[in-house]
Structures are given as C-alpha cells and as structure tokens.
Structure 1
Amino acid sequence: MHWYLTVLKKYAVLDGRARRMEYWMFTLLDTLFAILVCILGTAVGSMMSGPGEISFLGFWLLLIYMFLVLMPKLSVTVRRLHDTGRSALWLFAGLIPAIGALITIILMVLDGDAGENEYGPDPKTVPLT
C-alpha cells in the first residue's frame, strides 16, 4: 500500500526516477482496485435495478476510477522511463499497433541505470521516505 500512496502523492512529479518496485507495485494495486471497484459497482447496481434490467454502475465507477488515477499512472511511467535513461517521449511507443504494448512492458521491466543519470540520483541508493 505504501507504493500506491507514494505514487498518488507524486501525481504531478514528472522529473526524477522511479524504481521497478514502485512502478510494478502501483500497477498491481491499481489493477486490484480497478477489479474491486468494478465488482462492487456491479453488485450494488444489480441490487438497485429491477429484475431483468442491466446496470452499468460498475462500468461507470470503473471509468471514474480510471480517470482519477490517469495522471499518477502517467507520472510513474515517465519516472520509470527516466530511471532507464529514456525520455518521456518513449510513451508514444505504446501507440504503435500490435507491438506498442510489448515495447512498453519491456521498457518497464528493464533495470534502471546504476548511479546518477541526467534525470537524477539512483532511487535504489536514496532512502525511502
């Protein structure tokens, strides 16, 4: 939970670097929360609607949640790219049809630059706050 809250607190920080652990723990918890929001919204919506009616409450709550965490997702991805010595322009690689998502995943899995790079000090050597 620490990693998730840390990313939410740094939602507007586009400079600096983010460790793999920070990125992937945020991604894991974000995915779990999205699934939970969808399930709870669907359950509550089905209780509120009549028999035979379809409720889209889960969908709308999921859409709202995804909108609320969009900026933190982008900022942690930019900081993760900075950790590997790449600029934020590499985000556009994800827009390439068929292989864009694969390129993005590979970039997120790569180990960060050891020591300081042009984007800041190595986050592995900076103590956690």
Structure 2
Amino acid sequence: MYFASLPPWYVAGSFNHLPPGTASAMTFTESITTCFNKYATFDGVATRSEYWWFVLACWIASLLVGMVSNNLAIVVNLATIVPSLAAGCRRLHDTGRSGWWQLLGLVPVIGWIVLIVFMVQEGKPNRYDVTAAQA
C-alpha cells in the first residue's frame, strides 16, 4: 500500500514534503524575490522549489510579453538571463555539482535531458552549501 510507505514527516495536502532539518520549500513569490535579490550571486545553493518557481515565472513573463511585442520579449529575456544562470548555478551547487555543468545545455536534446535530470535531483549537504558547512 502506498500510504503505508510514506515517511512520518509527510503532511497530507502540504507542498513542503521535506524531512525535518532540510531547507524548506519556497513559495512562488519568495522564489522570484530571492532570485532577483541574488541577481548575480553564483555562490551558495538554491532549493528545487526556488529554482523551478523562478523558471516558471521567467517562462510565463516571456510568453505574456511576447504576445504583446517581440522586441519587448527580447528585452525581458535579456534582463532575466543573468539571474537565470545564477539560479541554475546555485541549483547545481545544491546537487553537489559545479555551475559549469550548465554548459551542457549547449548540447541539443541529450545535454538538455541530462541537465534537467541534474536540476530535479534532491539537494544534499556539500562543499557549496555555506549553511551546512557552518552547522
């Protein structure tokens, strides 16, 4: 039975399915605020929720602005490229990898698939996580 195998820290109906002591999941607005506050911060880590909410926000903004004006969409995409790269770098740090792995995205299809697999993996304490190193 599926429910019998759920961990004890799982709370039904909650979006924060993380064990105690791990970083908490971010909301949509917290993620966007954090990523823009860390506009060009390539050190540290980013949780899965922080990264994926920010990616969703960038996609939605690009889509909506693109419906109005292609030139304006280019401006929005250029304005979000640095925080997107920074968030991606921090996300890879959370999985224990260097941010340079983002260059794998330059390889069509296979590189994208591998990069997505890296980005969806659960974070773990590593040398990039300043808070885990201090504890």
Q: TM-score of the superposition, structure 1-length normalised?
A: 0.75
Residues 12 and 22 from structure 1, CA distance in 2 versus in 1: closer, same or farther, beyond 3 angstroms?
same
Which position in structure 2 is the counterpart of 1:118?
A: 127
* Alignment-mate amino acid for residue 119 of structure 1: Y
Question: Which residue does the alignment assign to 1:127?
Answer: none
Given that 1:16 and 1:119 are in contact with CA atoms closer than 8 Å, whether structure 2 keeps it comes out as: yes
Distance 1:92 1:67 in 2: 18
- Residue in structure 1 matching 2:50, options 1, 7, 22: 22
The structure 1 segments of at least 4 consecutive aligned residues displaced by more than 6 Å after TM superposition are none
Structure 2, unaligned runs of 5 or more: 1-28
| 1:107 to 2:135 alignment | no
Deviation, 1:80, is: 0.2
**Offset of residue 100 of structure 1:** 1.1
Amino acid at match of 1:22: E
Q: Distance in 2 between matches of 1:23 and 1:83?
A: 11
Offset, 1:97: 2.7
Query: Which amino acid in structure 1 is aligned with residue 52 of structure 2?
Result: W
Structure-1 residue corresponding to 2:64: 36
Q: How many residues align?
A: 105
Partners of 2:98 and 2:113 in 1: how far apart?
Answer: 18
> Which structure ranks higher in relative contact order (CA pairs < 8 Å, sequence separation ≥ 6)?
1
Q: List alignment gaps of at least 5 residues for structure 1.
A: 42-57, 124-129
For the pair shown, the structure with the greater C-alpha radius of gyration is 1
Q: CA RMSD in A?
A: 1.7
**Which amino acid is 1:77 matched to?**
G
| TM-score, normalisation: structure 2 | 0.72
Q: Give SS of 1:106's match.
A: helix
CA distance in 2, matches of 1:122, 1:97: 35
Q: Which amino acid aligns with 2:60?
A: L
Identity of aligned residues (%): 38
C-alpha distance in structure 2 between counterparts of 1:38 and 1:98, whole Å: 24
